[in-house]
């Protein structure tokens, strides 16, 4: 398992999809950029008054929250930038902050339009139970 994590960080920091090895940042810098993106997205989501956790029951909840899917979207978008060999300034830290803020704004205002919630199981049946 730890080999997989190291190999993923190594791949993201020293090569990209086309095999170019000119990124020049270490795996520690990539790890710090991921942590900054996660923390920044959660803080901005809480400032935008997203709930920390979704409504109960957690398993069947389709509500957005500060914990899920906000940091997952931030890490995914940051990974795309890192693999495409774009780090901007300060070894990707500025990019991580920008991605964290934009992912929180996306989850707050556009997530339900892009990914609508599923219909209720009993909606449209017309049978009263």
- Higher-confidence position of 79 and 122: 79
Determine the average pLDDT of the residues in 37-60: 90
Determine the average pLDDT of the residues in 2-18: 58
The pLDDT of residue 129 is above 80: no
91 is a domain residue:
yes
Which residue segment(s) compose the domain that 100 sits in?
2-114
- Higher-confidence position of 75 and 129: 75
Instruction: Give the number of domains in the chain.
Output: 1
- Higher-confidence position of 57 and 53: 53
75 is a domain residue:
yes
126 is a domain residue:
no
Average pLDDT of the chain, as a whole number: 81
- Higher-confidence position of 16 and 72: 72
The pLDDT of residue 54 is above 60: yes
72 is a domain residue:
yes
Q: Is 93 exposed, middle or buried (0-12, 13-18, 19+ CB in 10 A)?
A: middle
18 is a domain residue:
yes
The pLDDT of residue 33 is above 60: yes
120 is a domain residue:
no
pLDDT reported for residue 126: 53
The pLDDT of residue 96 is above 70: yes
64 is a domain residue:
yes
pTM for this entry: 0.74
pLDDT reported for residue 25: 77
40 is a domain residue:
yes
Give every CB contact of residue 66 below 8 A, 6+ residues apart in sequence. 42, 45, 46, 50, 51, 52, 104
């Amino acid at each position: 398992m730890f080999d997989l994590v190291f190999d993923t960080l190594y791949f993201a920091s020293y090569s990209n999809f086309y095999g170019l090895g000119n990124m020049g940042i270490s795996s520690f810098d990539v790890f710090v950029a991921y942590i900054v993106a996660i923390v920044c997205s959660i803080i901005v989501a809480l400032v935008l008054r997203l709930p920390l956790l979704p409504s109960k029951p957690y398993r069947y909840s389709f509500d957005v929250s500060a914990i899920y899917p906000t940091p997952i979207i931030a890490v995914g978008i940051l990974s795309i930038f890192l693999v495409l060999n774009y780090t901007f300034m300060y070894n990707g830290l500025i990019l991580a902050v920008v991605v964290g803020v934009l992912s929180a704004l996306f989850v707050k205002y556009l997530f339900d339009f892009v990914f609508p919630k599923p219909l209720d199981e009993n909606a449209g049946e017309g049978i009263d139970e």
